[in-house]
Amino acid sequence: MMNKSRHIPPAEFLPFEALDIHLLYEILHLRAKVFVVEQNCAYQDLDYRDQHSLHVLLRRHGRLAAYARIILPQTADEPVRIGRVLTEPAFRRQGLAESMMQQIMTYIRRHHPDRSVELSAQTYLTAFYEKFGFRRRGHEYLEDGIPHVRMVWEGE
């Protein structure tokens, strides 16, 4: 689990409308840095889901260090979805992603208590998400050329 000796600040949960152009640029820059450049994956990042998402930002030393988005349900039967979970390479192995996921799950349980939660996990990260109660559903598949698996959290 997270190293408790390090102070990790609380994450910010911002709707799309609260993102100014500088913050949006910082988010998109980090998403491209990790998913497009580092993982060598050409994919359509701008998918029109950002406008229906809460953007979760965790800063460290004034820099965007970890990020995710919570895609809010648009219908009564849709699950909450988590996506674009990442940590800036310079801030990895400091417990930031774990802290951010704990905060995300606390937020979802508080604001959407009757919803299941889904995410598409890169296969090598399934054990990470299982720590938060997610379970694999279905078989591995390729998403943008990278092995993924659907994971679901259905409550405690």
Buried b vs exposed e over 103-134: b needs ≥16 C-beta within 10 Å? bbbebbeeeeeebebbbebeeeebeebeebeb
CATH number assigned to the domain covering 12-153: 3.40.630.30
pLDDT at 73: 93
Which of the residues in the chain have pLDDT under 70?
1-6, 156
Question: pTM, whole model, 2 decimals?
Answer: 0.91
| Per-residue pLDDT tens over the stretch 91-104 | 999 999 999 999 99
Domain ranges of the chain: 12-153
